[in-house]
A = this chain, B = another copy of it.
Amino acid sequence: MSVYDLLLGKPLATSEERAEHIGVAAGIPIFGLDGLTSAAYGPEAALTLLIPLGIGSVEYGWRIISAILVLLTIVYFSYRQTIAAYPNGGGSYTVATENLGERAGLLAAAALMIDYILTAAVGISAGVTALTSAAPRLQPYTLEICLMILVLLAIINMRGVKDTGAAFIAPTFLFVGTLLTLIGVGFYKTIQAGGHPVAVHAMPAVLPASVGTLGLWLLLKAFASGCAAMTGVEAVSNGVMAFGEPRAKNAQRTLTIIIGILMVLLFGIAYLAKTYQVMPMQPEAAGYQSLLSLLVTAVFGRGWFYYLTMGTVLLALALSANTAFADFPRLTRAIAQHDFLPHVFILRGRRLLFSHGIYALTGFTAIILILFRGITDRLIPLYAIGAFMAFTLSQAGMVVHWRKEDKSHAGRVWHMVVNGIGAVATGITLVIVLVAKFVAGAWVTALLVPFLILIMIGVKKHYERVQAEMAEPRPMKMANLEAPVVVIPMARWDAITEKALRFGLLLSKEIKVVHIHSDDAESADSGLEDVWEHMVATPIRDAGATMPELVTIPSTFRYIISPLMDYILKLEGSHPGRKIAVLLPEMVVQHWWENALHNQRVQVLKLLLLLKGNQRIVVVNIPWYL
């Protein structure tokens, strides 16, 4: 156990739950890393599409990012309200289910699950891709490094929410710190230079415009791509339960800080790109650098600060998958509580976490990483969809929530308007993203969502059937308590079968010892009939106990199992209402490999009795320890 303790921490008692609740300082790295790191690729995703505009793109990019900032503000206010309204964890799933109905809830659930799995896969893979492009020698090990980071994240998260927060504070603050420094210094230099700073290093030549005017379609596509900068902001609302009291206040504060920093970062990056006249490079261009790399070079040159910034960006990206680890298990737990997922997701593990959610996320992420061999660029379009579907459903749900609210509630209409604007804005964005990215892969999400919903409905149906059979607990029935008919398959008489027969005598007065007689001279099965009289019948007669019946069944084709099964099922048919107890002696060996040495008929028989049996057939394992 000590290896476990060392790796995962000592088990926590259920009463220690309160101590595991986190504050704002831990909340920011846990729930914010994914949202904050979006700043590292969101603006570039938008600006890349504008390259055909030439130098004009800098100006348009600035406007698109401003539009995203407005949308972000709307989303911020509506999530703030959601947290206040659902202090017990107001994830999109809960909000949609409670206000828009089960189907909408399932839609949100499926979208969010896909979103989180993709967040984990894309986050890790983006970090590792950045690493391997810096150190090409590591390229062949891309997948291995990805999986290592995945396992590391899983282990850290298994240690519980407190330890996770502690582990991620440093990388998060380093990431935010270096980017804020970049923005601050760039801003200062811009002002110093009267609005037209000169880059420390020469920037790549700006490509001439290849299109004259900006089409609406291009604008929308750029906006849709830039919305990747907003993924991850729903994380806090899904994880409110992790915070200590005052829970809602703490969560709101965390959300405010995260979105505040994110807006500063987005604004700063867009502003510097504009004043330094930096355009993103085509990813397939020779000597490609990311927009962030170009900006740091422009403001600081290629000194130690450049390498520090790029290093922390890379680290933060790789660790941004952690947000998925924080939210996915809480989400699956909420879904399982509504019977739409297996109940194991409700169980809390040794560190009070919903460990099966962590296992599931790790498993699915590993599958995706392995399928795509650690290179998941193509998945990026998929995952903004999940996020925006969840945004929209949650905002729409909040509108209904406020409408149902008591009319006297202060600010009810105002709340409704904020969430309504949020719903419409994110809904429009969702449609834009879907249309713009459908061919690029969004169709995969469009297929996966209904598939997941079908699975969840199947699970629910199953639990409902179980529930129906259990129905109301009723007092125990004491009628018809009759001893079972005991069946003991017996190949030969030895210490093992003696043990089984002794147990059978305790169970019932009606015992059938079934001997399958194969007329195969080489089999070791024969001889029971010869010893039965003096080994078994005489002692039992002497003791005055009821005599078991020896049933010998010939087997022409040397089958053992099927005549036995036939006999048991026939016996069950001819004793309606009686229980049939089948006693199966089982050899328990010391080493696993010794299992190969005893023929596995008992296991096959057990399985068949379970599959073909019914309520009245009971299997009793009589273990024999060597």
Binding site for B on A (CB under 8 A): 11-15, 342-344, 346-350, 459, 462-463, 465-466, 469-471, 473-478, 481-484, 492-496, 498-499, 501-503, 505-507, 518-520, 522-524, 531, 534-536, 538-540, 542-543, 545, 556-559, 579, 581, 586-589, 594, 596-599, 606, 610-611, 613-615, 617-626
Contacts and interface: CB of A to CB of B under 8 A. Distances in A.
6 contacts: A14-B520, A14-B556, A14-B557, A342-B597, A476-B540, A481-B502
A614 B620 contact: no
Contacts of A494: 470, 473
A348 B558 contact: yes
A343 B535 contact: no
A462 B597 contact: yes
Contacts of A342: 596-597, 599
A463 to B, nearest CB: 7
A520 B481 contact: no
A357 to B, nearest CB: 14
Contacts of A579: 503, 506
A484 to B, nearest CB: 7
Copies per complex? 2
Contact of A625 (B12, B503, B615, B621): B615
Nearest to A478: B543
A127 B419 CA distance: 74
A498 B469 contact: no
Nearest to A593: B458
Nearest to A615: B625
Contacts of A538: 475
Nearest to A496: B470
A354 B290 CA distance: 67
Given A344-B599, A618-B620, A535 B474 contact: yes
Given A519-B15, A556-B15, A614-B625, A476 B502 contact: yes
Given A14-B556, A462-B594, A619-B620, A540 B478 contact: yes
Of the candidates A470, A505, A596, the one having the most CB atoms from chain B within 10 angstroms of its own CB is A470
Given A473-B493, A531-B473, A538-B475, A557 B620 contact: no
A495 B531 CA distance: 44
Contacts of A597: 342-343, 459, 462-463
Nearest to A498: B476
A353 to B, nearest CB: 11
Contacts of A589: 462
A539 B621 contact: no
Contact of A623 (B12, B536, B594, B617): B617
Contacts of A557: 11-14, 350
Nearest to A545: B478
Contacts of A13: 556-557
B539 A477 contact: yes
A111 B494 CA distance: 36
- Among A476, A502, A503, A520, chain B packs the most CB atoms within 10 A around the CB of A476
A477 B502 contact: yes
A539 B596 contact: no
B618 A624 contact: no
A466 B626 contact: yes
Given A470-B496, A478-B539, A618 B618 contact: no
Contact of A501 (B476, B484, B499, B539): B476
Contacts of A498: 474, 476-477
A473 B535 CA distance: 8
A614 to B, nearest CB: 6
A471 B12 CA distance: 51
A495 B470 contact: yes
A519 B619 contact: no
B621 A618 contact: yes
B620 A621 contact: yes
Q: Report the 3 A-B pairs with minimum CB-CB distance, sorted nearest first.
A: A478-B543, A13-B556, A470-B494
A597 B623 CA distance: 28
